[in-house]
Amino acid sequence: MHIAVIGTGYVGLVSGTCFSEFGHDVICIDTDAEKIDKLNAGDIPIFEPGLQAMIEKNARSGYLKFGTDLQSAVAGADAVFIAVGTPSRRGDGQADLTYVYAATKEIASALTGYTVVVTKSTVPVGTGREVERILRETNPNADFDVVSNPEFLREGAAIEDFMRPDRVIVGTLEKRAQEVMSAIYRPLSLFQTPLVFTSLESSELTKYAGNAFLATKITFINEMADLCEKVGADVHDVARGIGLDRRIGAKFLHPGPGFGGSCFPKDTRALYQTSVEEGAPLRIVDTVISINEKRKMDMAARVIDACGGSVSGKQIAVLGLTFKPDTDDMRESPSLDILPALVAAGASIRAYDPEGMEEARKLLENIDFCKSSYATLEGANALVIITEWNEFRALDLARVKSMMKTPVMVDLRNIYDPRDMALKGFTYRSIGRPN
Ligand code: NAD
């Protein structure tokens, strides 16, 4: 199969690379010429475990190419995947489809022969039909089908998720398009991966329903953690107790500072907006959004409380800035709410993140970025762990304590044991566990 991927970000780059790993002939296109130049020079613009090696291998064998010429890429393709960004629109929170429709118009004029045009970007229900309309209007003679094929990969585990997905959702009822999509994903039949065919609309909505459900699960356990703190229960025991029930499942029951990232916040907002527009408001999703926004702010208050009610003039060490480990993605990370609130309360902050600091520097002001975990600690009044990178899990706690002015740790990811921390002489606060 000849595949063109339009948009070479987290999803486009991973999808294109994995399709080439399947043995397809892939070209990844982006309007960002600098990004494409970097990729052609072997420089990978994002941090994603395993990606660099897979790109190098497939680029070397000629299965994977990068370019800016959308027209020729589309002209030679059996399938064109649209994987451009769909950020939140200012004002109402609906997905901004400017990039999707701009790409669609360009694709339209380049179509030759039968082509499947696939929306891999997360797009509101109805977008596929609009893509179809634009293609038809721009190029009335084109022979194509529009398919929705949402992506479920997680940053940090993107390759594994793409190569071994739980399922692949393919939104089209057209036989010809189903055959092309089946051929593209055939390598996954080895693992008996279900290929679920649905209508365009069902597929588009499935992506949002999945993300909203997971965001709700996280929010549920976060609120349960708050209750655990009040009544002296341990949220991990509660989570394990309910998670062993197969109707509930153990995943996404880890409490923390609130969900962030490039998907859950914007997708819950967009889904809620769609539900309001359609006259069937998803009140549960609206509640999840507002609980989560407030929660990120509450985390700063937690730190202030652990510092005795004020951080004015105090030095705070922060470990972890990205919204989760194993990614450099800072989009809507809880750190973007917590750090400014602490700075506003008078704290000075020294922070470190293994991969996120380049992005963080663009988004956070008045922060002293450090070269290592330990470099944040000298003279600190408190240490706050925001992201559970592996390298923060086994800090030399005697060294940590000796470097700090006061041994206060606020662990927003529960990576240390409260009893052990007390024994080691720390004032230790975590989420949903007895101190
Ligand atoms: P991204 O911002 O990392 O990448 C988007 C890329 O598209 C950019 O490189 C941009 O330059 C390029 N682009 C924009 N307009 C273009 C055009 N007309 N032609 C060619 N290139 C163009 O975005 P992302 O995180 O990869 O997300 C892409 C889509 O996938 C979004 O809809 C997102 O919701 C969805 N998604 C993301 C994830 C994730 O973990 N990041 C997971 C599942 C789904």
pLDDT for 139: 97
Q: Is residue 212 part of a domain?
A: no
Q: Is 11 in the pocket of ligand 1 (CB under 6 A)?
A: yes
Q: Is residue 408 part of a domain?
A: yes
One domain, residues 39 and 182: yes
Give the distance, in angstroms, between the CA of residue 44 and the centroid of all CA atoms in the same chain.
Answer: 18
Q: How far apart are CA 27 and CA 29, in angstroms?
A: 6
Say if residue 202's pLDDT is above 80.
Answer: yes
Question: In the predicted model, what is the mean pLDDT of residues 102-113?
Answer: 98
One domain, residues 159 and 307: no
One domain, residues 417 and 300: yes
Is the separation of the CB atoms in 123 and 270 below 8 Å?
no
Q: Which CATH number covers residue 46? A: 3.40.50.720
One domain, residues 185 and 290: no
Q: Is residue 351 part of a domain?
A: yes
In this structure, which residue's CA is closest to atom 12 in ligand 1? 7
Q: How far apart are CA 145 and CA 178, in angstroms?
A: 10
Say if residue 284's pLDDT is above 80.
Answer: yes
Using the atom order of ligand 1, give the atom closest to the CA of residue 267: 34
pLDDT for 152: 98
Q: Which of 228, 263, 307, 370 is catalytic?
A: 263
Q: Is 122 in the pocket of ligand 1 (CB under 6 A)?
A: yes
Burial 303-335 (b: 16+ CB within 10 A, else e): bbebbeeebeebbbbbbbbbbbbbbbbbbbbbb
One domain, residues 46 and 156: yes
One domain, residues 193 and 297: no
One domain, residues 149 and 38: yes
Residue 387 structural domain: 264-270+285-429
Q: Is residue 205 part of a domain?
A: no
In this structure, which residue's CA is closest to atom 20 in ligand 1? 30
Is the separation of the CB atoms in 323 and 10 below 8 Å?
no
Beta-carbon contacts of residue 144 (< 8 Å; ≥ 6 apart):
111, 114, 115, 116, 117, 135
Q: Is 118 in the pocket of ligand 1 (CB under 6 A)?
A: no
Q: How far apart are CA 81 and CA 130, in angstroms?
A: 16
Cα angle 155, 369, 393; round to 5? 55
- From 175, 198, 221, the end of a domain falls on 198
Q: Predicted confidence band at 435 (pLDDT cuts at 50, 70, 90)? A: confident
Q: Is 14 in the pocket of ligand 1 (CB under 6 A)?
A: no
Say if residue 237's pLDDT is above 90.
Answer: yes
Interval 255-268: pLDDT, tens:
999 999 999 999 99
Q: Radius of gyration (Cα) for the chain, nearest Å?
A: 23
Cα–ligand 1 centroid distance for 4 (angstroms) = 14
- From 173, 198, 223, the end of a domain falls on 198
Question: In the predicted model, what is the mean pLDDT of residues 412-428?
Answer: 98
Pocket test for ligand 1, best of 80, 152, 154, 262 (most atoms within 8 A of CB): 262
Q: Is residue 215 part of a domain?
A: no
Q: How far apart are CA 255 and CA 252, in angstroms?
A: 8
Say if residue 254's pLDDT is above 80.
Answer: yes
Pocket test for ligand 1, best of 6, 8, 11 (most atoms within 8 A of CB): 11
pLDDT for 428: 98
One domain, residues 12 and 140: yes
Using the atom order of ligand 1, give the atom closest to the CA of residue 152: 43
Q: Is residue 249 part of a domain?
A: no
* Residue 8 to residues 31, 66, 346, Cα–Cα distance (Å): 9, 9, 40
One domain, residues 56 and 194: yes
Q: How far apart are CA 181 and CA 200, in angstroms?
A: 14
In this structure, which residue's CA is closest to atom 1 in ligand 1? 9
One domain, residues 184 and 318: no
In this structure, which residue's CA is closest to atom 18 in ligand 1? 103
Is the separation of the CB atoms in 134 and 27 below 8 Å?
no
Q: Is 12 in the pocket of ligand 1 (CB under 6 A)?
A: yes
pLDDT for 393: 97
Q: Is residue 51 part of a domain?
A: yes
Q: Predicted confidence band at 235 (pLDDT cuts at 50, 70, 90)? A: very high
Q: Would you say the ipTM is above 0.95?
A: yes
- From 165, 181, 198, the end of a domain falls on 198
255 closest CA partner among 289, 290, 285, 299: 299
Q: Is residue 54 part of a domain?
A: yes
Q: Is 151 in the pocket of ligand 1 (CB under 6 A)?
A: yes
Give the number of other CB atoms < 10 A from CB of residue 276: 15
Q: Is 121 in the pocket of ligand 1 (CB under 6 A)?
A: yes
Q: Is 158 in the pocket of ligand 1 (CB under 6 A)?
A: no
**Which tokens hold the place of 340?**
């400014």
Cα–ligand 1 centroid distance for 7 (angstroms) = 6
Q: How many domains does one find in the chain? A: 2
Say if residue 103's pLDDT is above 80.
Answer: yes
One domain, residues 423 and 290: yes
Output the average pLDDT for the chain.
97
Q: Is 153 in the pocket of ligand 1 (CB under 6 A)?
A: yes
pLDDT for 420: 97
Q: Is 370 an active-site residue?
A: no
One domain, residues 289 and 193: no
Q: Is 263 in the pocket of ligand 1 (CB under 6 A)?
A: yes
In this structure, which residue's CA is closest to atom 44 in ligand 1? 151
Using the atom order of ligand 1, give the atom closest to the CA of residue 329: 41
Q: Is 15 in the pocket of ligand 1 (CB under 6 A)?
A: no
Using the atom order of ligand 1, give the atom closest to the CA of residue 266: 34
Using the atom order of ligand 1, give the atom closest to the CA of residue 158: 40
In this structure, which residue's CA is closest to atom 10 in ligand 1? 7
